[in-house]
Amino acid sequence: MMHMTPGMFVFLFNSTLAQAQECEDLKRDMKALELFLQDQEDYEKYCPKMEWKQPDIAVYKKELVTQIPKGCKE
């Protein structure tokens, strides 16, 4: 049986935390991309005549909500 030193434990614990954070970051990025693409589709479908410049994907990653103009999809 292998003896785990405190240093090994800290390394494994930190690695697990880092992996969990990476997973959460990936989920957030996926949700942001989904919203970004859905907004493009909805804009073309529901209100192509409205003036709207789609924000950068970074805005979606930060806010995680649709950025479609008000009144477009109501």
Q: Higher-confidence residue: 24 or 1? A: 24
Band (60; pLDDT cuts 50, 70, 90): very high
Structural domain contains residue 66: yes
Burial (CB < 10 A; 0-12, 13-18, 19+), residue 68, is: buried
| Side-chain half-sphere CA neighbours of 2 within 13 A | 5
Q: Could you read off the pLDDT of 12-37 as tens digits, one per residue?
A: 666 777 787 888 999 999 999 999 99
Longest dimension (CA), the chain: 70
Structural domain contains residue 11: no
Q: Higher-confidence residue: 15 or 70? A: 70
Residue 1, pLDDT above cutoff 60: no
Structural domain contains residue 58: yes
Per the structure, the count of domains in the chain is 1
Which range of residues forms the domain containing residue 24? 19-74
Find out whether 36 and 60 touch, Cβ atoms under 8 Å: yes
Structural domain contains residue 23: yes
